[in-house]
């Protein structure tokens, strides 16, 4: 089973047990924990950064930092969400560096619902997602669409919808308010919906929304 298809971050006893053993100096346990989580960490970093080399750096920094701060885990959250939070912060640092900014614009004030675009191309999809997922060209479309999101929207979508963190965990990982996570998630979802439906929708079923003027 692939790491991405595993059920989203639940406090599995296994992760916790491995971490506890690692905290007492058991390297084999730590390696097993890394083996369980590295795929998700890599996928999160890749999706945020869109690039393999940077994603590798994030994986390495994340687990080295965990060795350094292994006693910092207090068990308030699932081990996996703790690890993903650390990884996300390293990924954000890479974004900052890339943009040459002291901070990535994750905390540039609250966004409001008014900034969420209305749906325009509304149509039924020609094929169900499980069939689409098998298509070779789908990866490129999905990668392109997610790369077009603003960083601050993409990060929220990756953690919340792809990795299955709760809204609260996502807010905590990103240092945002829950309300802000919700509006950014909605924004990301609507933008991706628009983009994918233009590609995957059946134009014959297209309907025109009646809220054009609201």
Partner 1 sequence: MSCEELLRALNEVIDDASALALYTEFADHLSGCNPCQLVVDNVRKTIQLYKSGEPYPMPAGFQDRFRDALRAKWQARFPNSKPQS
Q: Which residues bind partner 1 (CB under 8 A)?
A: 2-5, 25-28, 30-31, 34, 38-39, 42-43, 46-47, 52, 55-56, 59-60, 63-64, 67-68, 70, 113, 116, 118-119, 122-125, 128-130, 132-133, 138-139, 142, 146, 157, 161-162, 164, 182, 185-186, 189-190, 192-193, 196-197, 201, 205, 207-211, 214
Taking alpha carbons only, the member of 9, 23, 8 closest to residue 74 is 23
Q: Which is nearer to partner 1, 52 or 101 (CB)?
A: 52
CB of 91 to partner 1, least distance (A): 14
Taking alpha carbons only, the member of 189, 211, 203 closest to residue 121 is 203
Q: Which is nearer to partner 1, 101 or 131 (CB)?
A: 131
CB of 202 to partner 1, least distance (A): 10
Q: Which is nearer to partner 1, 13 or 197 (CB)?
A: 197
Report CA-CA distances (Å) from 199 to 52, 61, 80, 206. Answer: 26, 37, 34, 13
CB of 116 to partner 1, least distance (A): 7
CB of 86 to partner 1, least distance (A): 15
Q: Which two tokens stand for residue 133?
A: 């997922």
CB of 171 to partner 1, least distance (A): 13
Q: What DSSP designation does 118 have?
A: P
Q: Which is nearer to partner 1, 63 or 73 (CB)?
A: 63
Q: Report yes or no: 88 and 47 within 8 Å, Cβ to Cβ.
A: no
CB of 110 to partner 1, least distance (A): 15
Neighbours of 74 (CB within 10 A): 7
Q: Which two tokens stand for residue 23?
A: 């905290």
Q: Which is nearer to partner 1, 45 or 92 (CB)?
A: 45
Contacts of 39 (CB under 8 A, 6+ apart): 2, 3, 4
Taking alpha carbons only, the member of 61, 58, 4, 66 closest to residue 29 is 66
Q: Which is nearer to partner 1, 93 or 193 (CB)?
A: 193
Query: How far, in Å, CA of 13 to CA of 16, rounded?
Result: 5
């Amino acid at each position: 089973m692939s790491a991405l298809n595993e059920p989203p971050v639940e406090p599995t006893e296994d992760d916790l047990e491995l971490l506890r053993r690692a905290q007492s100096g058991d390297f084999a346990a730590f390696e097993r924990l890394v083996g369980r989580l590295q795929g998700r960490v890599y996928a999160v970093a890749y999706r945020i950064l869109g690039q393999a080399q940077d994603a590798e750096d994030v994986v390495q920094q994340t687990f080295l930092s965990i060795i350094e701060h292994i006693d910092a885990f207090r068990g308030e959250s699932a081990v996996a969400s703790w690890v993903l939070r650390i990884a996300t912060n390293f990924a954000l640092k890479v974004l900052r560096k890339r943009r040459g900014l002291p901070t990535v614009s994750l905390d540039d004030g609250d966004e409001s619902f008014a900034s969420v675009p209305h749906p325009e191309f509304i149509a039924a999809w020609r094929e169900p997602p499980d069939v689409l997922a098998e298509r070779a060209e789908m990866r490129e479309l999905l990668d392109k669409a997610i790369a077009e999101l603003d960083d601050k929207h993409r990060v929220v979508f990756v953690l919340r919808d792809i990795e299955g963190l709760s809204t609260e965990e996502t807010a905590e990982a990103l240092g945002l308010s829950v309300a802000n996570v919700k509006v950014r998630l909605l924004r990301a979802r609507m933008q991706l919906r628009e983009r994918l439906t233009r590609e995957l929708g059946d134009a014959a079923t297209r309907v025109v929304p009646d809220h054009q003027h609201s």
